[in-house]
Amino acid sequence: KQEVTQIPAALSVPEGENLVLNCSFTDSAIYNLQWFRQDPGKGLTSLLLIQSSQREQTSGRLNASLDKSSGRSTLYIAASQPGDSATYLCAVHGSSNTGKLIFGQGTTLQVKP
Amino acid sequence: EAQVTQNPRYLITVTGKKLTVTCSQNMNHEYMSWYRQDPGLGLRQIYYSMNVEVTDKGDVPEGYKVSRKEKRNFPLILESPSPNQTSLYFCASSMGTSGRMGTQYFGPGTRLLVL
């Protein structure tokens, strides 16, 4: 059974720092992996989607990488800003032709001015 | 505007009183799904639908029903709600055929309290 883990659960950094969020999964047979942002009391917003055949995706200050063989993905945030404060979740879509999506428990990021 | 809408946004009910939470998307997406989010447990998938009249169980389907009679709508039904179904519920949709899903678009959430 696929399990998705995100460490650390919480992270606090000063504004301007570059940072890396981690996501690991137990079954490397995945179709894609997505990173989401969730603000308190709000829904999830998709940030990046990486297909299993891709190594990385970039959007603005965000870069997500995928290493299927080691079961790991990272989300790199450059030059962090207070507006980046939120919970970041990763979710794995398995490749067994199902509609199941497995989420990690998220990393709550606080960027201090 | 492309969006996923859920109604109601907040609901307080009593044990055993049937309720329905509606979900609608205007992006012509094939795939739709329901999740619940609980502190310490994260987001867990309840049911999903690959297309009209095609539904399947997620990880926590007990106590819930769904139907997909139209492409745009995917209601979540609690036939006899219990206090352990108190949670924050999210609906999501994406393009996708044959189980190959793309970017997920989430609704704003429905906060349910069962007394």
Q: Where are the beta strands (DSSP E) in A1-113?
A: 4-7, 10-14, 19-25, 30-38, 44-51, 56-59, 62-67, 72-77, 86-94, 101-103, 107-112
| pLDDT score, position A99 | 83
Cα angle at B91 between A75 and A72, to 5 degrees?
25
Partner residue opposite A97 with nearest CB, options B92, B98, B105: B98
pLDDT digits (tens, 9 = 90+) for A58-81: 999 999 999 999 999 999 999 999
Q: Do B33 and A45 touch (CB under 8 A)?
A: no
Partner residue opposite A42 with nearest CB, options B40, B99, B108: B108
Best of B38, B49, B97, B104 to mutate (most A CBs within 10 Å, chain A):
B104
Q: Which of A51-60, A91-100, B24-33, B68-77 has the lowest mean pLDDT?
A: A91-100
Under DSSP, the state recorded for A83 is G
pLDDT digits (tens, 9 = 90+) for A78-106: 999 999 999 999 999 987 667 889 999 99
| pLDDT score, position B99 | 64
